[in-house]
Structure 1
Amino acid sequence: MRYFLTVCRLQSITHAAAELHVAQSTLSQTMQGLEEETGLNLFLRTGRHIMMSQDGQRLAQKLSRLLVQVDAVEREVEDMAHRHQRVRLAIPQQQAAFLMPRLLSEFHAAHPEIPLDIVEPYGIEAARLVRDEKADIAVVNSDEQSLPELRYRRVASHPICFTVWEGHPLAARGSISLAEAARIPLAMLSEEFYVTRCALHAMSERGLSPDVRYFSPHLSTLYSLVRHHALPAILYARALAELPGLVALPFAEDLRLTGSILTRKNRQSTRDQRLVIQFITRQLERSADLT
């Protein structure tokens, strides 16, 4: 269509071929093929000059209007692609404490052209956001494949720890048993968090009832309780994110959570999304090697 309209405007195969950066013979064959396909005599030829026939004029008018619509669609597609360059991440608080500083510093420095939209929901809610296509990627502390619409990529496992403050009587210990922890007044995240459900389940299987004095939906509250020597807490090791003043004691029973990266099964990941996934995978695997 664009070739035909260019020939019509310039009334010259030679000049049109030069403007379109195609061989003159190719353009001539294309115009002949168009006439054969449509069954119309589109041009009146006089030597090297050509003029549009009446049929050619009518076709040019229709194609001009059609190309305006095609151009509009192309612009809309470009706008959609530009909006979709933003990578939407759902990272629960415990993973966010470790990943956020690295995403906003190292990843942004390496890929400033990739904007990130990051929310910090509960682990279960993070998975649902991906399922409902409100997030492109979720990073959760569980490989429970409870949503069949999602692809679960297991990345690395990290210990669940009994967290105390420096100077606490247990701080010098290398580990602690679940039975010992159950007898100590402590704080935990609310049961929407995988770490809490995992720890409570492990204690329940052993007939233990922990002395939980406070459940909180906020990781910062648990940090404050431990730092102010109010209560120890059970936390995922990555949630500590090298915070000073805290001592993490792994459980003797080797209680661990497996980090997983979630995406939708029926969606092709973009290049930007793959770069984000590769970065997060490297960070989690590297930290697992150091654990």
Structure 2
Amino acid sequence: MNIQQMQYYAEVCRYENVTRAAETMHMSQSTLSLAMKNIEEETGLNLFRHVGRNIQITEDGHALLHEVESMLKHFKRFEGSVREIAHRHNRLQIALPSQIATVILPLLLEEFRKLHPEIELEITEPAGGEALDMVEREEVDLAFVHDADDRPTLTLRKLSDWPICLCVPADHELTGQNSISLAKATAYPLVLLGRNFILTHEILEKCRKQKLTPQVLHYSPHLSTIWNIVRQKIAFSILTGNGIPAGSGLAAIPIKGLFQRGFVVTKKGRQIYAGERLLIDFVRQKFKA
């Protein structure tokens, strides 16, 4: 007996009437009668006695019903487990470092949620390097990062390129320049993202290669702290261009020859589920456009 036959049999036994059971299941009486006949032939059991328009369940019929009800309970638990697994795959865990979050987070919280309200988003904002570690350890489903070290365990899908910029107050005399050299940018007092951020590591490495000594007053993991320090004209900063929002009272001056790439990162060998694919395609299409 298959699951459908079991469900038919349980309903007929419940009503002890084929016609009423057929009405409940929105099928014809003849189709259900044939199904009961097939079950008797397949099992080799005499399951019913006909009494007028009703039926009585035989002793063998009751024994079979006991087994059928047990199997249907197991099947319901199985269906519930499958639904729970599917629901978990509609709950995406995303690592989104603070700079790239300034452009991607509004897209996710507004437009993507409207398009796909069935998908739950759990978003953490670690440093870029930590975001890669989280994908590698499968603590999150995917990450969006600026640049990424080449790890054999990770798959990188490119989003876009952004200039690395000197961040200054909007009313500073440097505002409006098309670009600035790294040597000139690092001659000013600076506040940078934490040392574990990929951007900070890259800037310090560029300075080392060019034998530059940047005047770093402070490292902070919080963009809001950096923005406030720059607004108060205590120090400048070096940030990816998309980490300097419009209308913030800050200006971005591209540093010559310095760019960061944006990537969406997933674990190699791990299945990409439908919800993840929708999210990845949505963000990549946004940046492609």
**TM-score of the two chains, using structure 1 as the length reference:** 0.84
Other-structure match for 1:257: 260
Please state how far the C-alpha of 1:232 moved relative to its aligned partner: 1.2
Q: CA deviation at 1:101?
A: 3.1
Matches within 5 A, 1:52-71: 52-71=57-76
> Do the aligned partners of 1:177 and 1:252 also contact (CA within 8 Å) in 2?
yes
Q: Deviations over 1:64-116 (max 9, x none)?
A: 23323332443344345445533322110101122223333333444445432
The alignment status of 1:225 with 2:242, answered yes or no, reads no
Aligned partners of 1:145, 1:198: CA distance in 2, in Å? 14
2:246 counterpart of 1:242: yes
Q: 1:6 to 1:131 in 2, by over 3 A?
A: same
CA gap of 1:145–1:32, structure 2 versus 1, over 3 A, is farther
Distance 1:284 1:191 in 2: 28
Aligned CA distance change for structure 1 residues 34 and 146 (closer, same or farther; 3 Å) = same
Give the residue type in structure 2 aligned to 1:195: L
> Matched residue of 1:251: which SS?
strand
Q: Residue 248 and residue 43 in structure 1: after superposition, are their counterparts in 2 closer, same or farther (change >3 A)?
A: same
Q: State which drifts further: 75-84 or 239-248.
A: 75-84
Alignment of 1:1-291 (within 5 A): 1-45=6-50, 49-82=54-87, 84-146=89-151, 148=153, 150-253=154-257, 255-264=258-267, 265-271=269-275, 273-286=276-289
Contact 2:129/2:148 (8 A) holds in 1:
no
CA pair 9-244 structure 1, distance change in 2 beyond 3 A: closer
Structure 1 equivalent of residue 3 of structure 2:
none
TM-score (norm 2): 0.84
Amino acid at match of 2:283: I
Give the fraction of aligned pairs with identical amino acids, expressed as a percent.
Answer: 38
Confirm or deny: 8 A CA contact 1:158 1:238 kept in the other structure: yes
Q: In structure 2, what is the equivalent of residue 289 of structure 1?
A: none
Determine the C-alpha separation between the residues in 2 that align with 1:112 and 1:2: 34
State the Cα RMSD in Å. 2.7
Residue ranges of structure 2 left out of the alignment (5+ in a row): 1-5
Shift of 1:230: 1.2
What is the distance in 1 between the residues matched to 2:30 and 2:133?
Answer: 58
Distance 1:143 1:178 in 2: 21
Unpaired runs of 5+ residues, structure 1, are 287-291
Matched residues in 1 for 2:38 and 2:133: separation?
54
